[in-house]
Amino acid sequence: MPTLFVPKESTPGETRVAAVPDTVRRLVKLGLAVQIQSGAGDAAGFLDARFAEAGATLVPDAGAAAQADVVARLNPPTVAEADAMKPGAVLVSFLWPVARPDVVAALARRGVTAFAMDRIPRISRAQSMDALSSQANIAGYKAALLAADALPRLMPLLMTAAGTITPARFVIMGAGVAGLQAIATARRLGAVVEVSDVRRVVKEQVESLGARFIEVEGAEDLEGAGGYAKEASPEFLERQRAEVARRIAAADAVITTALIPGRPAPRLVSEDMVRSMRPGSVLVDLAAEQGGNCELTVPGQVVQRHGVRILGHMNLPGMVPFHASDMYARNILNVLLHLFPKGAATLDFDDEITAGSVVVHGGLVRSPDVAAAGGGGAA
């Protein structure tokens, strides 16, 4: 019977966990012996007793990874944690392999098969495994709440005996998963929402949520593979800045969500744009972990610039750890159902999901871009 180990996340400040009691029950039925590090789910509201009731064995520390056939976690392991894994084991986690070639090299040295949750292809068959989307959904929701909380004004239109309160005006940059959820949440709170995106194809989705799409010439040409936005040309970005700057100057809150996989976040909001905003306005930068969409963002901090509060919080899903863990754990469960269809590991590299997501196998790095970044020799 293969052993699955879920550690307590070692990344400072991480509140999420890669399994919840409901998924543990499914994994046990699948034929896996599930071990959970004691306290792994405490910060998310999943106590040890609930894991034990679901059929997991509680272990005192992360040393159990040395004997586990499968390790499921949220954040990439450190080099030391990779070196401690059992040779031939399977790792399922976010990996960000281009940015962490030392970890990839360590996994290859140990002969670990590494399945990167951040590399799951965005195809319909893999939607239930798509952890990037599940966590982005939560981040977009939380971003709208953070903006509402930071604003010194109310969100909805209110007709009162003392007079009329006009609704808050939001500009949301990027209509991917996080942006669409931010739109929906801000609209539920009563805000008037305008949305900018380089992909004109998202206009219908934006308008279906009751928001206004900011038209910019040339946007229809900028949708890339997997639904991600391609990097825009300098000419388009200049047109976008001019149009969006006008809307930002009239906004009470701006939420930026633009990311390009494997690249620094594009800079969309300049200091001049921030300076044009009303005193007391708020900017929430969901791209802070990749440098930020606003040039004044300080990753991990809330700063005041030109009378505007700029929120550079990182790991917004970790601010909602109960449901973030629940959704991620279900993503992990579906990956394991894919990899262990009959209780034993089955790696079919003719399958698009396996081929796209397995970064390391058999001591070799399978992805050329990761190998080029210094993660080891390509297969």
Using one digit for the tens of pLDDT, what is the confidence trace for 324-365?
Answer: 999 999 999 999 999 988 767 788 899 999 999 999 999 999
Q: Is the pLDDT of residue 228 over 70?
A: no
Residues 6+ apart with CB under 8 A from 163: none
Query: How confident is residue 263, by pLDDT bands cut at 50, 70 and 90?
Result: confident
Identified catalytic residue from 37, 93, 133, 281: 133
> Could you give the C-alpha distances from 163 to 156, 159, 278, 307, 368, in angstroms and in order?
14, 6, 22, 27, 63
Q: Is the pLDDT of residue 315 over 60?
A: yes
CA atoms of 210 and 283, how far apart (whole Å) = 21
Identified catalytic residue from 10, 67, 127, 208: 127
Taking a C-beta distance cutoff of 8 angstroms, is the pair 253, 283 a contact?
yes
The question of whether 221 is a catalytic residue gets the answer no
- SS3 string of the chain? CCEEEECCCCCCCCCCCCCCHHHHHHHHHHCCEEEEECCCCHHHCCCHHHHHHCCCEEECCHHHHHCCCEEECCCCCCHHHHHCCCCCCEEEECCCCCCCHHHHHHHHHCCCEEEEHHHCCCCHHHHHHCHHHHHHHHHHHHHHHHHHHHCCCCCCCEEECCEEECCCEEEEECCCHHHHHHHHHHHHCCCEEEEECCCHHHHHHHHHCCCEECCCCCHHHCECHHHCECCCCHHHHHHHHHHHHHHHHCCCEEEECCCCCCCCCCCCECHHHHHHCCCCCEEEECCHHHCCCECCCCCCCEEEECCEEEECCCCHHHHCHHHHHHHHHHHHHHHHHHHCCCCCCCCCCCCHHHHHHEEEECCEECCHHHHHHHHCCEC
Q: What's the alpha-carbon Rg for the chain, to the nearest Å?
A: 22
Q: What is the mean pLDDT of residues 102-110?
A: 96
pLDDT of 201 reads: 87
Taking a C-beta distance cutoff of 8 angstroms, is the pair 183, 208 a contact?
no
Structure tokens at 286: 């969901």
Residues 6+ apart with CB under 8 A from 247: 171, 194, 196, 214
| Least trusted range by pLDDT, from 58-67, 111-120, 307-316, 345-354 | 345-354
CA atoms of 29 and 25, how far apart (whole Å) = 6
Note the pLDDT tens digit of each residue in 67-93.
Answer: 999 999 999 999 999 999 999 999 999
pLDDT of 374 reads: 65
**Mean pLDDT of the chain, nearest integer:** 92
pLDDT of 225 reads: 53
Q: Is the pLDDT of residue 227 over 60?
A: no
Residue 199: how many other CB atoms lie within 10 Å: 21
Residue found by looking up tokens 């070639």 in the block:
101
Query: How do the domains of the chain map onto residue ranges?
Result: 3-129+321-375, 137-314
Burial class of residue 273 (count of CB atoms within 10 Å of its CB; 0-12, 13-18, 19+):
buried
Q: Is the pLDDT of residue 20 over 70?
A: yes
pLDDT of 243 reads: 87
What amino acid is encoded at 146 in this protein?
A: L
The question of whether 130 is a catalytic residue gets the answer yes
Note the pLDDT tens digit of each residue in 120-173.
Answer: 999 999 999 999 999 999 999 999 999 999 999 999 999 999 999 999 999 999
| Least trusted range by pLDDT, from 24-38, 64-78, 232-246, 282-296 | 232-246
CA atoms of 224 and 231, how far apart (whole Å) = 9
Note the pLDDT tens digit of each residue in 38-62.
Answer: 999 999 999 999 999 999 999 999 9
pLDDT of 240 reads: 76
> Could you give the C-alpha distances from 21 to 16, 36, 160, 285, 322, in angstroms and in order?
14, 10, 47, 33, 12
Q: Is the pLDDT of residue 221 over 60?
A: no
CA atoms of 14 and 241, how far apart (whole Å) = 35
At the topology level of CATH, where does 137-314 sit?
Rossmann fold (3.40.50)
The question of whether 133 is a catalytic residue gets the answer yes
Identified catalytic residue from 69, 118, 130, 326: 130
Residue found by looking up tokens 């940015």 in the block:
99
Select from 122, 104, 124, 123 the least CA-distant residue to 114: 104
Q: Is the pLDDT of residue 273 over 60?
A: yes
What amino acid is encoded at 296 in this protein?
A: L
Identified catalytic residue from 25, 122, 212, 267: 122
Task: Give the global pTM.
Answer: 0.91
The question of whether 141 is a catalytic residue gets the answer no
pLDDT of 324 reads: 98
The question of whether 285 is a catalytic residue gets the answer no
CA atoms of 146 and 143, how far apart (whole Å) = 5
Identified catalytic residue from 83, 228, 239, 278: 228
CA atoms of 217 and 240, how far apart (whole Å) = 8
Structure tokens at 42: 């405490």
pLDDT of 220 reads: 53
**Domain 137-314 in the same topology as domain 3-129+321-375:** yes
At the topology level of CATH, where does 3-129+321-375 sit?
Rossmann fold (3.40.50)
Identify which has the larger pLDDT, 30 or 285. 285
